[in-house]
């Protein structure tokens, strides 16, 4: 990449802004400086070797404001910027040291920021999560419960299956005939809803943990005074059996059903 040389302070600011998130090497020099003239051809070679880096030569005589803002009092001085912020600097015509600093900053720039790490962690988690729904046995279990032929027939438009209509039909079946939204669980003894005010947290059993339940809500039935356990299962195959839950269980189980009949699906 060609070394850029601004004619004034305003042009320099524009060059830095255009660099955006790329590493910037600023070479502060003076025409009368012998070491500056000596290292100049080496800077050209570095710019060719590292095309991902922006090299800017700043004449301290023509860009006085910029030189003052960076506190330049010796030439040559090299200032390294990343995302508009100074990350390193060196004085003198040491080409090897300058290249070492460039390599170091390029390596550090490849490290994800805290926000990027959070995003990447979620991306990996969701990518791994989707593998659960690609399991052939799990899909076969889901298909055995879905009235697939009926849905396919009803989704046909002009003799061809319409995927958008199929999604709507699957959703309607899932919502009305298959899955039960559960704010509070029913008592297994008397069939009455437990009181929400009596909710406490319980420890999942080993079997519940094996089906992905990290926590269990325990309610008290006000009629027969028994505890009602509500494991928050996270395994879609188990949810094909229990067929109840809230947002998490609903989305989890529906995703498996969608993939089981070949619909493009994402979990989030």
158 with 87, same domain: the answer is no
The mean-pLDDT minimum among 120-134, 148-162, 175-189, 241-255 falls in 120-134
- pLDDT of residue 198 exceeding 80: no
Q: What is the pLDDT of residue 113?
A: 72
Which string of DSSP letters, residue by residue, matches 99-149? HHHHHHHHHHHTSPPHHHHHHHHHHHHHHHHHHHHT-HHHHHHHHHHS-HH
126 with 256, same domain: the answer is yes
129 with 250, same domain: the answer is yes
- pLDDT band for position 121 (50/70/90)? confident
- pLDDT of residue 268 exceeding 70: no
146 with 51, same domain: the answer is no
Q: What is the pLDDT of residue 196?
A: 61
- pLDDT band for position 171 (50/70/90)? very high
**Burial call 35-65: b when 16+ CB within 10 Å, e when fewer:** bbeebbeebeebbeebeebbbbbbbbebbee
At residue 237, the 3 state secondary structure works out as helix
If one compares 1 and 29, the residue with the highest pLDDT of the two is: 29
Distance, C-alpha 232 to centroid of its chain = 25
Give first-to-last CA distance, the chain, whole Å: 42
22 with 146, same domain: the answer is no
Q: What is the pLDDT of residue 193?
A: 73
Last residue of a domain, one of 44, 76, 109: 109
- pLDDT of residue 69 exceeding 60: yes
173 with 65, same domain: the answer is no
177 with 78, same domain: the answer is no
Q: Domain for residue 3, yes or no?
A: no
For all residues of the chain together, what is the average pLDDT?
91
Residues 232, 259: contact at Cβ < 8 Å?
A: no
Say how many domains are in the chain: 2
253 with 219, same domain: the answer is yes
Long-range contacts of 257-262 (CB under 8 A, 24+ apart): 257/142, 257/146, 257/170, 257/174, 258/167, 258/170, 259/133, 259/134, 259/139, 259/142, 260/138, 260/139, 260/140, 260/142, 260/143, 260/146, 261/143, 261/146, 261/148, 261/151, 261/166, 261/170
CA distances from 182 to 103, 173, 193, 219, 221 (A): 57, 17, 10, 13, 15
Q: What is the pLDDT of residue 88?
A: 96
The rounded distance, in Å, linking the Cα atoms of 116 and 27 is 31
Residues 202, 236: contact at Cβ < 8 Å?
A: no
CA angle (104, 105, 110) in 5-degree steps: 105
**Structural domain for 60, as ranges:** 9-109
99 with 150, same domain: the answer is no
CA distances from 78 to 20, 46, 94, 219 (A): 19, 13, 10, 68
229 with 176, same domain: the answer is yes
165 with 242, same domain: the answer is yes
Q: Domain for residue 57, yes or no?
A: yes
153 with 176, same domain: the answer is yes
Beta-carbon count within 10 A of 267 CB? 18
Q: What is the pLDDT of residue 1?
A: 64
Residue 70, domain CATH: 3.40.30.10
The encoded tokens of residue 174 equal 């899932």
- pLDDT of residue 199 exceeding 60: no
- pLDDT of residue 70 exceeding 60: yes
In this prediction, residues 222-226 reach a mean pLDDT of 82
Task: Look up the pTM and report it.
Answer: 0.57
Q: What is the pLDDT of residue 253?
A: 96
Q: Domain for residue 268, yes or no?
A: no
Q: Domain for residue 4, yes or no?
A: no
The reply to whether omega before 258 is within 30° of 0 (cis) is no
Last residue of a domain, one of 109, 136, 157: 109
- pLDDT of residue 77 exceeding 90: yes
Last residue of a domain, one of 89, 109, 129: 109
């Amino acid at each position: 990449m060609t070394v850029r040389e601004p004619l004034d302070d305003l042009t320099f600011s524009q060059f830095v802004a255009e660099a955006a998130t790329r590493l910037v090497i600023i070479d502060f020099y003076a025409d009368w400086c012998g070491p500056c003239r000596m290292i100049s051809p080496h800077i050209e070679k570095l710019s060719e070797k590292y095309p991902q880096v922006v090299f800017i030569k700043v004449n301290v005589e023509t860009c006085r404001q910029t030189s003052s803002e960076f506190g330049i009092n010796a030439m040559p001085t090299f200032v390294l910027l990343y995302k508009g912020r100074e990350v390193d600097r060196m004085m003198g015509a040491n080409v090897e040291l300058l290249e070492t600093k460039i390599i170091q900053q390029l390596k550090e720039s490849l490290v994800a920021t805290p926000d990027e790490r959070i995003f990447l962690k979620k991306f990996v988690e969701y990518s791994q999560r989707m593998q659960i729904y690609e399991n052939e046995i799990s899909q076969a279990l889901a298909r055995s419960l879905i009235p697939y032929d009926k849905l396919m027939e009803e989704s046909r438009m002009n003799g061809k299956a319409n995927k958008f209509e199929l999604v709507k039909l699957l959703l309607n079946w899932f919502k009305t005939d298959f899955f039960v939204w559960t704010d509070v669980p029913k008592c297994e003894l008397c069939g009455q809803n437990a009181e929400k005010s009596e909710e406490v947290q319980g420890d999942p059993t080993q079997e519940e943990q094996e089906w992905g339940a990290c926590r269990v809500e325990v309610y008290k039935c006000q009629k027969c005074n028994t505890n009602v356990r509500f494991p928050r299962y996270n395994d879609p195959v188990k949810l094909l059996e229990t067929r109840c839950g809230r947002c998490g269980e609903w989305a989890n189980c529906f995703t498996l059903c969608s993939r089981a009949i070949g619909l493009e699906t994402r979990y989030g």
